[in-house]
Structure 1
Amino acid sequence: MPTKFGLKNTSSRPSRPLVTPSNPLIISVLTTLGSILISCCIWRFSIRLIRVREPRRGMFQWPFQALVSPGQYVLELAFAEYFLQRYPRESPGPLRERVNALIGKRNLPKWIKAASLQNLVFPYDDIDKLKRHDKEPPVRSVFWALFGTIYLCFGMPEVYRVLFEVIGMDPEDDYCQPKLRRHLDDVDVVSVEFEEQLSWLEVAAYKVWPQLMEILGYPLQMIDNIPEITEARNIELGLGLQLCFLHPSKYKSEHPRFCFDRLEYLGQKIQDLVMAERLLIKYIGAPGKWLQEKHGRLLLNKLWALSEEKHLQRFIIYGENVENKYEHNRRLKNPSTTSVQQAIHGLSYCVYGKPDVRRLMF
């Protein structure tokens, strides 16, 4: 009979219980190796079906498709974190160009070949002779599923190790550099270049609205051995919340970093990964395409629900010249409200980690 995913159960006899080893370490290793091998090897046999008409939905699904979306979001989050720390004064535009130059669909076949995995994806060695539309889709799916498996089994440090040591990606190479563009002067009033410099205590003297802190449930109760760590974390949280609600129309022309752009960029990536993990665990046997559609609908509903329920849009600070326009035009206000929500997710990930992002979303 049909299941809730649209798949048919064709089994006519009950499945026999599997005999598994009793050592937890052996179970973990076998699970990891099995997931990676399935992710890489299955395309070797499926490459012949690329030109075949796509079968009716629900009748044919590859077992590793559910790992494709987490792998994609893991890679985007990994490089977003890296480049945001590596280039603290760059806007998200150049950062996206750097990420796309590394893990864009045109460059993934090169990394598969550098890792000597082309034989597991294609039945022959020379993949350079293949046409792009025959080569890029299977390579992209295998690459994403591979890193989705690595992340779920070993965590983010292993993802960085495989990217930089095994595959040999170089984020500082010439092909990763963004296009030249006109940059606004990034004046930093707290740097040593100015005679009248502000201390961090003076910068942190501005208090965030207590009502906003109460709505979001901040600050969280954290147990620290050193009291100064808790105080510093709360100061970072207060300064970050100011940026989360600071629209680019306010100060970006004079101070490019005084807006929510960078936090919004990070928040997009972490909320995608958190949602993908939740759906993968909740619907363990669901097809990959169904999970992707569910991911988009549910994430959009979560963003709207939190913003509308908590009335966060009333805290957004716009520029004087566009304030009336944004407040009375939903086509302008809705994207800015979504950006603020994503910036809050990025801030919570920076200050408290991924568990706090789950708390805000669910």
Structure 2
Amino acid sequence: MTALVGTVSLAAALVTAPSAAAAPTAAQSPDPNLTVTSVTLGRSSVLVSGLNRFVVGVTVKAGYNSTVETPLNVFFQRTGGVGPLKYMIAGQLKRTGGTLKDGTWTGTVDIPSTANGTFKVYGVLPGYLQPGDMTTETPFDGPSIAVTGVHLPKLAVQVIPRVVPFGSPYQVKAVIYDSATGKPYGVRLPLQVTFDNLCVEHDAVTRLTDTAGVLYTSFPAAAADWLNCVRVRGRFFDTISHGFFPLRPGIVAAIPSKTSAPVSTYVPVNGSVAGAPYRCPVLLQRLHGRTAWRLANQSTVRQSGRFTVVAQPPNLGNNSYRVYFPTCNRFQAGYSRMFAIQGT
């Protein structure tokens, strides 16, 4: 079963990495009130199987120059190994000792098998995790933990129909299985299959697969224009997730501005591609003989979904043209109807 993956890399990153651990923008900066003295972990190595999570204690000694009590969040990133998970979070550690300006915060990180590899503490963030925060982690060169993951879960996704027509509802078939055996785990498992902002937020509806690890979810037509995703949720980050955009047909319309023109003069051909695949190429082709289509001109789709290519009829009489839209990102290849420009 082949997963249908969209081509917008940022969209995929939003569901594979914690939102608060994404690369900071120019507007983001560490909280100047936080000073981190140390971060310690309750273990240096763990073994995790399947969809289990191993709970490891995390302790932070820090000072926060504020009068408002706040939790701390500790961020880990992969430094070795080949598991699918790239980031982990020990979220909302509570102060359990000392003062706010010189205290100890404790909590846990719940480590899944998909972490398989080595993870290192790289930063600490005060407050509650919110997508779009204007602060980023305070850098801290912390300890590492080695994770041995076995029987890692894997997701497969099938969109039905494979290419979703505009204006039509569709289904997503999600399958979760043991990557070591290629077989289901044999129990019903919780999945979130959703779209748009719920691919990065915590409050999407969770449903159970059947015992074969299969879950069908129906989507309205409008959902195909947004990021879709399948998630196995954890407390602060997903155990495993997969983001994708459903495939769309290439529907092309093109009309010449003139149906006749003197030989070798320029004739604009205006058209549109459904779904507005911005910056994708469109190729004007002219018919040679009975079956050979050759490139005559090319352009790109504007943000509005419209385009203009220029024909230059080389011969007297009818010159046959069409506009070809090659597969671009999630949009499939398509042709406009053939049209003629008479050379005079």
Query: For the superposition of Structure 1 and Structure 2, which TM-score range results when normalised by the shorter chain?
Result: under 0.3
Structure showing greater radius of gyration is: 2
* Structure possessing the higher relative contact order (Cα contacts under 8 Å, 6 or more residues apart): 1
Structure with a larger share of its residues in strand: 2
Give the TM-score taking structure 2 as reference length. 0.21
Instruction: Calculate the TM-score normalised by the size of structure 1.
Output: 0.20
